[in-house]
C-alpha cells in the first residue's frame, strides 16, 4: 500500500471494460512505479517505518527525480514482517473438543478424536454354533464379532443346528437400544495450539520497484520493473507423509504447518498519445509480463512448485464525437502458462488464452446521461502433457478435455438529474464468465485452502443478468442515497462440499454449477456540518 497511487472501483460496466473476470465488479489498483507527471522539484522522496505490537513492523522508501528535460525516474522498496497474530480467546470453537463431535467437523477443526466403538453384547440372545466350531479355521476368517447373533439356529453341513444361548443376554430391553455405543477417550489437536494466538499466521514480504517515464505534451511512455518475495503461513496443518500399509510397523502421521513462498518478477509498459484531432482524444497501449515461482511448503519442506508465465496486452482509444457524445473502445489479449512440480500438486500443466474487443459509449444531454457498452471475448483453456501429475480419487477434472468459450457482455444505464440536488438512475448489465483452470482441471490437495479441490471439465460458462435502481438527494449539508439491486445467475460456479474428508483433515470439494439469485438494498446517509470555531468541516456518515 506504500506505493499506491489510486484505486478505481467499477460496477455495471465492469465486464464490458475488463471481461468475465469482473462479473461481480472490478477494482483497478494503480501504483507510482511509472511516473505520470513531471515533478515540481528536482528530487522528492519519502521513507516510513511502522512498529506494532500485533501487526509486526514495516519499512518503505520511495524516491522520484526529474531527469533531463522530459524524463522522470522512480525507485521504491518495502519490507514487512510479523509473527503469529494474537487474537481474543481460542483459535477453535468449543465444539472442536466436544465428545459429540462428528467425523467431518473433527476433520475441519483439525483434531484427532480417540474413539472406541463398543458393541452391546447384552442385546444378542444367541451364539452362533457355526462360528464356535470354525473360529480358528483360516478358511473362514471368522472373529468374535461374528459370534453373536439374533438367529436361534445355524446351518452346519446342510443340517439345522440350534445355537446356544448367550449368557450375557438381558431380556426385556427397549427395542430402540443401539447395537453399538461410542466412547471418546480424548481429543487432541493435529499440532499444538496456544490460547490467544493464531497458529502459523506469520508473514514476510519484500518488494522492490523501479520505473521511468518520458513525458511530452501529447505523448507519454513509461516502463516499470517489479520484484517481489513473500513467505506466508496458512493457519492450518497437513500430513507430510501419506498413510502406508505395513505388517511390521505402526504408521504415525506427521503434521507440519502449511506455508507458501512466492518469487515474482514483472515488467510493464504504459504509453499514451493525444492526437491533435477532434475525433480521437487519446490512444493508450499497455503491456505487462510476469514470471513467478509459487511454492507450497509443509514446514520448510517443499511439496509443490508452480512456475507461471503471464502476458497481457491492452489498447484503448478514447473518442469525442461531439460535445455530448464520447466513448472508449479497445482490444485486449492475455496468455497464461502454468507448469508444476511435485507429486501432490493440485492441478496439471495448463495454459489459457483470452482475447476481447469492447466499446463503452456515453451520451450527455442535460439533465439525462446514458452509458451503453458491449464486449465480446474468446477464451481457450488447455491442459498440457504432464506424465508426473497424480490425480486424486475424486472428480479430478474429468477427462481434462480442451475447452473453448465465446462470451458476450452488455451494459446500459440512464440517469436523470434534477439540478444538482437529486437524481434517479436505472442500470442493466449482462455478463458471462468462462470457468477458470482450477474450476475445470483441479484434482488434488490444494494446501493453501486446506481442501482437496476437484474441477469438472464439463462445466458451462457462468452468466448473470443484473438490475439496479437508485436515487439520491443532496440538500444543504445532508446527503442521502439508496440502491436496490437484483442479480440472476445461470450456472453460477461454486466450490461445493461433498461430505467427504480424507485422512489428514482435507475436505473433498468439487466445482459445481447452479442457478441462484442475489438481491438487496444499499443505503447511505451523511450530514456535513461546519464548525467554524475550529476551522474544519465534520461529516457524520451512516
For residue 223, what are the contacts with CB-CB under 8 A and spacing of at least 6?
34, 211, 212, 213, 267, 268, 269
Neighbours of 472 (CB within 10 A): 17
**Which residues of the chain are modeled with pLDDT < 50?**
535
Query: What are the grid coordinates assigned to 130, written together?
Result: 457355526
pLDDT value for 26 = 79
pLDDT for residue 535: 47
Instruction: Read off the DSSP letter of residue 449.
Output: G
Longest dimension (CA), the chain: 110
CA-based angle 119:120:123, to the nearest 5?
135
Tell me what pLDDT residue 29 has: 82
Residues 6+ apart with CB under 8 A from 532: none
Residue bearing cell 453373536: 148
What are the grid coordinates assigned to 303, written together? 511439496
Distance CA 28, CA 5 (A): 11
Q: Which domains does the chain have, with CATH numbers?
A: 327-541 (2.40.170.20)
Q: How far is CA 364 from the centre of its chain?
A: 39
Element holding 521 (H helix, E strand) = strand 507-531
Backbone angles phi, psi at 14, to 5 degrees: -60, -45
Q: What is the pLDDT of residue 411?
A: 93
- Euclidean distance between CA atoms 237 and 252, whole angstroms: 15
Question: What pLDDT sits at residue 199?
Answer: 92
Amino acid at each position: 500500500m506504500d506505493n499506491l497511487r489510486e484505486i478505481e472501483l467499477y460496477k455495471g460496466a465492469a465486464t464490458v471494460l475488463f471481461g468475465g473476470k469482473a462479473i461481480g465488479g472490478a477494482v483497478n489498483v494503480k501504483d507510482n512505479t511509472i511516473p505520470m507527471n513531471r515533478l515540481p522539484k528536482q528530487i522528492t522522496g519519502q521513507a516510513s517505518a511502522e512498529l506494532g505490537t500485533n501487526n509486526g513492523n514495516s519499512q518503505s522508501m520511495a524516491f522520484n527525480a526529474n531527469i533531463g528535460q522530459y524524463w522522470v525516474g522512480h525507485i521504491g522498496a518495502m519490507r514487512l514482517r510479523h509473527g503469529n497474530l494474537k487474537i481474543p480467546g481460542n483459535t477453535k470453537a468449543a465444539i472442536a473438543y466436544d465428545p459429540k463431535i462428528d467425523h467431518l467437523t473433527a476433520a475441519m477443526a483439525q483434531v484427532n478424536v480417540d474413539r472406541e466403538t463398543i458393541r452391546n453384547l447384552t442385546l444378542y440372545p444367541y451364539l452362533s454354533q457355526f462360528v464356535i466350531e470354525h473360529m480358528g479355521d483360516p478358511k473362514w476368517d471368522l472373529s468374535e464379532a461374528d459370534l453373536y447373533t439374533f438367529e436361534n439356529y445355524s446351518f452346519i453341513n446342510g443340517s439345522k443346528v440350534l445355537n446356544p444361548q448367550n449368557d450375557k443376554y438381558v431380556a426385556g430391553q427397549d427395542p430402540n437400544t443401539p447395537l453399538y455405543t461410542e466412547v471418546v477417550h480424548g481429543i487432541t489437536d493435529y499440532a499444538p495450539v496456544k490460547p490467544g494466538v493464531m497458529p502459523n499466521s506469520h508473514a514476510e514480504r519484500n518488494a522492490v520497484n523501479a520505473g521511468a517515464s518520458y513525458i511530452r505534451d501529447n505523448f507519454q511512455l513509461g516502463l516499470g520493473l517489479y520484484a517481489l518475495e513473500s513467505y506466508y503461513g496458512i493457519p492450518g496443518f497437513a500430513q507430510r507423509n501419506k498413510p502406508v500399509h505395513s505388517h511390521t510397523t505402526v504408521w504415525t502421521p506427521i503434521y507440519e504447518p502449511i506455508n507458501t513462498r512466492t518469487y515474482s518478477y514483472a515488467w510493464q509498459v504504459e504509453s499514451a498519445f493525444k492526437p491533435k484531432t477532434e475525433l480521437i482524444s487519446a490512444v493508450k497501449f499497455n503491456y505487462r509480463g510476469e514470471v513467478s515461482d509459487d511454492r507450497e511448503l509443509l514446514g520448510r519442506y517443499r511439496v509443490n512448485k508452480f512456475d507461471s508465465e503471464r502476458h497481457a496486452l491492452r489498447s484503448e482509444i478514447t473518442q469525442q464525437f461531439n460535445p455530448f457524445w464520447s466513448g472508449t473502445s479497445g482490444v485486449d489479449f492475455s496468455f497464461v502458462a502454468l507448469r508444476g512440480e511435485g507429486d501432490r500438486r493440485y492441478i496439471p500443466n495448463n495454459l489459457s488464452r483470452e482475447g476481447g474487443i469492447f466499446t463503452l459509449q456515453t451520451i450527455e444531454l442535460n439533465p439525462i446521461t446514458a452509458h451503453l457498452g458491449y464486449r465480446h471475448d474468446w477464451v481457450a483453456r488447455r491442459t498440457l502433457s504432464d506424465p508426473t501429475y497424480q490425480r486424486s480419487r475424486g472428480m479430478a477434472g474429468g477427462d481434462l478435455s480442451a475447452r473453448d468459450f465465446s462470451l458476450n457482455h452488455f451494459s446500459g444505464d440512464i440517469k436523470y438529474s434534477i439540478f444538482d440536488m437529486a437524481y434517479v438512475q436505472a442500470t442493466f448489465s449482462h455478463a458471462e464468465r468462462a470457468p477458470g483452470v482450477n474450476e475445470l482441471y483441479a484434482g488434488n490437495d490444494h494446501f493453501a485452502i486446506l481442501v482437496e479441490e476437484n474441477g469438472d471439465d464439463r462445466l458451462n460458462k457462468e452468466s448473470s443478468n443484473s438490475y439496479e435502481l437508485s436515487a439520491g438527494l443532496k440538500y444543504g449539508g445532508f446527503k442521502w442515497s439508496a440502491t436496490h439491486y437484483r442479480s440472476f445467475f445461470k450456472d453460477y460456479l461454486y466450490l461445493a462440499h461433498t461430505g467427504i474428508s480424507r485422512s489428514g483433515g482435507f475436505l473433498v470439494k468439487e466445482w459445481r454449477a447452479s442457478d441462484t439469485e442475489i438481491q438487496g438494498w444499499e443505503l447511505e446517509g451523511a450530514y456535513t456540518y461546519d464548525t467554524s470555531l475550529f476551522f474544519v468541516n465534520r461529516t457524520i456518515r451512516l
